[in-house]
Structure 1
Amino acid sequence: MTDGGGYLLDNQQPEAGARFTALEALFDPSTFRHIDALGIRAGWRCWEVGAGGTSVPAWLASRVGPAGHVLATDIDTSWTGSGSGAGYEVRRHDVGVDPPPDDRFDLVHARLVLVHVPQRARALAAMMASVRPGGWLLLEEADPSLQPLVCPDEHAPPQRLANKLKHDFRTLMAARGVDLAYGRTLPRLLREAGLVDVAADAYFPVAGPACAALEHATTRQVRASLTRAGLATDAEIDQHLANIEAGLLDLATSPMISAWGRVPS
């Protein structure tokens, strides 16, 4: 998801830490629920693709214990930590370009990764090839087209402005190759890849402090891109940020589609 050669949501920007914290608060409970349901236990080998922050690899390491192994990879490991104190390995890796790790895993997991990877099919094939027979692939991707409003209760000008700016942001994303309807395709893609026991669900919060924190950080992070593209004005963005800070908005996330399947034994 690039803007003039750089990422719209670049991990090097100061707002990235606030975004990761909000995403962890919003979606870690759902992610952990799914992985627990897949039967994670001591000794498993796990690959966390596009780890971003520390919360998921650290949680995985706590589940698999010293007998297991967790590899956390990202194109930018600025926020992933060293992993040494939390029991996981960190490696810089571009899943759409680089060869997959020379290993097989009981679980491969990626959240909010593939939708931003131009070489999505290649990345999915790499993850598939890294799951051992009997192991699981869990993919989680947002699907903004399923529910396009950041304020579903659009009852006044502040909510209408919020939805206008979210539409502008997604216009920018789509122009840079982000598939805003990718999440819904995950069950089909897993079946077509030959996985069995495929299932999926959707989850999205509709209000709360973490939703507001995520919207505030994201808006600040993409501000320059929106104004440079002529999609929004500084006055609109300033008003939206003020509305968030005043607690005027019930802010929703896009639906997160979680889909999982098992490689046949």
Structure 2
Amino acid sequence: MAHNDGHNDGHQEGYLLDNQQSEAGQRFDALSELFDPVTFRHLTAVGVAEGWHCWEVGAGSPGIPAWLAERTGPAGRVLATDIDTSWMPADAAYEVARHDVGTEEPPAGPFDLVHARLVLVHVPERAAALEAMVRALRPGGRLVLEDADPALQPLSCLDEYGPAQRLANRLRRGSRELLARRGADLAFGRTLPRLLRESGLTEVEADAYFPITSPACTALEDATVRQLRDRLTEAGLATDEEIETHLANIASGELDLTMAPLISAWGRKPGG
């Protein structure tokens, strides 16, 4: 499960995973390990270079803004915003500001690049947030959006050959059910190319990535299940015994755990 770790549960009803929980740091690290190389590949491809002005929306953790600051150099500008900036280092080599992209005016730009990963699906005012990001771009500027699509690949274990794998997939279905009950759009990722085109962007492209198995997938599954266990049991979607069994199966290292595909879409604002 990939979620925006820059939004906490107290902010709005649709977000399940609270940054303040002890497992959040483990989730940050695992998401960065899984998806930072994908993000960096896309940001490199759109041409991020010395002197660019970049806005990282819903940054959550420091990996991407730090990379952008290194790429854009002293002549560039990198602004990292989130509704929870507590995870940002005090001595960051970039600007940090608390900002709600769904309800507040975009920060002063314009920007050569606006990027958001695992953010839009959790913002109730999604249309307003997207409009704000496009408005903040200079003519010719690039927007890169990345979001998960759990409905596209709903399994935890693709190779469901035994009881441990069947249990993993059943608990993943329970987690999806929790998200759906809270109004999350589990098929959001696939809509990104259309949303970019409807926002007036040109040269729109997209791709998808998901790991089949890796230590980071295992770490992410462990942290996510621990964060959701009380809600899974309260909702009658799993028992404590089942969750303990699944956590032991994860710890054994014998589960090939995968995540929802991360869909990346990018486009250019006309002009410039």
**Which residue identity lines up with residue 219 of structure 1 in the other structure?**
V
- Cα distance in structure 1, aligned partners of 2:24 and 2:121: 18
Matches within 5 A, 1:90-101: 90-101=96-107
Structure 2 CA distance for aligned equivalents of residues 253 and 168 of structure 1: 15
1:183-221 deviation line (CA, Å, top 9, x unaligned): 000001111111001000000001010000000011111
- 1:4 Cα offset (Å): 11
1:131 to 2:137 alignment: yes
Q: How does 1:34-53 map to 2 (within 5 A)?
A: 34-53=42-61
1:158 is aligned to: 164
In structure 2, what is the equivalent of residue 33 of structure 1? 41
What does the per-residue CA deviation read over 1:109-150, in whole Å, with 9 as the maximum and x for residues that have no partner?
A: 000001111111111111111111000000000001111101
* SS of structure 2 residue aligned to 1:261: strand
Output one character per residue of 1:67-122: Cα deviation in whole Å (capped at 9) or x when no partner.
1111111111121223x3x4111111111112111221100000000111111111
Q: Does 1:193 align with 2:199?
A: yes
Distance 1:51 1:3, change over 3 A: closer
- 5 Å-filtered alignment, 1:177-192, equals 177-192=183-198
CA root-mean-square deviation:
1.4
State the AA in 2 paired with 1:74. Answer: D
- Name the SS for the 1:252 alignment partner: coil
The CA distance in 2 between the partners of 1:4 and 1:141, in whole Å, is: 19
Contact kept, 8 Å, 1:2 with 1:176, in 2: the verdict is no
Task: Within 5 Å, give how 1:218-229 maps onto structure 2.
Answer: 218-229=224-235
The structure-2 alpha-carbon separation of the partners of 1:196 and 1:5, relative to structure 1 and needing over 3 Å to count, comes to: closer
Aligned residue for 1:75? 83
1:102 to 89, 96, 108: 108
For structure 1, the residue ranges without an aligned partner over 5 or more in a row are none
In 2, distance between residues paired with 1:136 and 1:3?
Answer: 32
Q: What aligned pairs does 1:1-12 form with structure 2 within 5 A after superposition?
A: 2=9, 7-12=15-20
Deviations 1:158-180 (A, max 9, x none): 01111101110011111111110
Query: How far apart in 2 are the matches of 1:5 and 1:91?
Result: 20
Aligned to 2:182: 176
- What's the CA shift string for 1:222-256, capped at 9, x where partnerless? 11111122211111111111000001210001111
Which has the higher mean CA deviation after the structures are superposed, 198-207 or 92-101? 92-101
User: C-alpha distance in 2, partners of 1:5/1:52?
Assistant: 16
Identity over the aligned pairs, expressed in percent?
A: 66
1:116 aligns with 2:122: yes
Q: Quickly say closer, same or farther: Cα 1:100–1:234, change in 2 above 3 A.
A: same
Q: Supply the AA of the counterpart residue of 1:108.
A: V
Aligned to 2:5: none
Query: SS state of the match for residue 70, structure 1?
Result: strand
Q: Where does structure 1 differ by over 4 angstroms across 4 or more consecutive aligned residues? A: 1-7
Residue aligning to 1:21: 29
Q: Aligned partners of 1:217, 1:207: CA distance in 2, in Å?
A: 16
- The reply on whether 1:213 has 2:219 as its aligned counterpart is yes
Q: Deviations over 1:12-48 (max 9, x none)?
A: 1111100000000000001000000111111100010
Cα distance in 1 for partners of 2:129, 2:211 equals 28
Specify the SS of the correspondent of 2:105: coil
Aligned match for 1:62, one of 62, 70, 80: 70
Q: Which amino acid aligns with 1:43?
A: G
Structure 1 counterpart SS, 2:220: helix
Give the residue type in structure 2 aligned to 1:234: D
Is 1:261 the counterpart of 2:267? The answer is yes
Q: How many matched pairs?
A: 263
